[in-house]
Structure 1
Amino acid sequence: MTLRYRTEAINGDGGTGTARVTGGMEVPVASPLTSDPDPDASNPEQLLALAWSTCLNATAQALVKRERRTAVRIEVELHDASDGPGYEFHVDTYLSAEGLTLDETADLLARAHARCPVSKLLRGATTVQVHAEEFAG
């Protein structure tokens, strides 16, 4: 296996404070469960949605050779864990493609989902679903 890229993120504060990328950005973080969450801070739900939507859409764009617009919309919900203490994410991912039927979009989604590194990381998660939808622009 050839290494193509490496990064490192560090969080020393937990659900409040900051998380940072070594040699790069620093992101304020706050729990969405607090009574008054900081609107300028992020949380794991948002970061997961950003990471996967970026990766999956870049993969879809590579597959359509950038000849049409595509969009990925991801909804992440935080639930009490069904099998013990703590929490779990429930994630619904939607891909749309300009000028494709729903069946064609579903095929594109299946191919992108099979190839996207974040999708591979989440493969087999029972609380993750992917869906094709009409392109809304």
Structure 2
Amino acid sequence: MEKKSLYHTEIENQAGIAGNVRSLVGGEFEQLTSSPLQAVPGTNPEQLLGAALATCLNATLEAEEKRRNLPHQAIVRVAVDMGRDYQGFQFWVRAQVKIPHVERQEAQKILAVCERRCPVAKLLAGSSNVSIELVNEFAFGEELK
């Protein structure tokens, strides 16, 4: 399949987790960055990754609900944990999806379609560190130990 971009952005970070990340093209975006291990203002890669998956998956769910003539009521919550591994650090990403206005079997079908269509979910698919699950109630609790 030929690649044809419908949208293009370029993001630049010169300071790691102690400065700013910003867009060079593709719309206005600038965000202060900071370490997730310090109580200082700014966002971090964990929050940006969680926001990307939650937003993209929910937008895909909204499109599928609309296609099925349903009101948009889906909610996506994403938990991202960072921990050490043998080479440095890694993330564990857990998404919970609530689609309260349809029966569970239909909600499972909707979610399955959306996991195949959402660009961020597709990007993360296949990683043993990523899970997406349908829930009746959100239940993350504390971070992984």
So what's the TM-score if we normalise by structure 1? Answer: 0.88
- Residue 67 of structure 1 pairs with residue 70 of structure 2: yes
Alignment identity in percent?
Answer: 34
- 1:104-115 matches, cutoff 5 A: 104-115=106-117
Residue identity opposite 1:12 in structure 2 = Q
- 1:122-133 matches, cutoff 5 A: 122-133=124-135
* Segment of structure 1 superposing worse, 110-119 or 94-103: 94-103
What residue ranges of structure 2 are gaps of 5+ in the alignment?
139-145
- Residue 44 of structure 1 pairs with residue 45 of structure 2: yes
What residue ranges of structure 1 are gaps of 5+ in the alignment?
none
Once the two structures are superposed, residues 25-81 of structure 1 have per-residue CA deviations (whole angstroms, 9 ceiling, x without a partner) of 2100001123xx21x310000000111111000001111117221111100001112
Consecutive aligned runs of 4 or more in structure 1 exceeding 6 Å deviation: none
1:53 matched residue in structure 2: 54
1:119 matched residue in structure 2: 121
SS of the residue 2:59 aligns to: helix
- Residue 30 of structure 1 pairs with residue 31 of structure 2: no
How far apart are 1:98 and its partner, in Å?
Answer: 2.6
Cα distance in 2, alignment partners of residues 57 and 13 from structure 1: 31
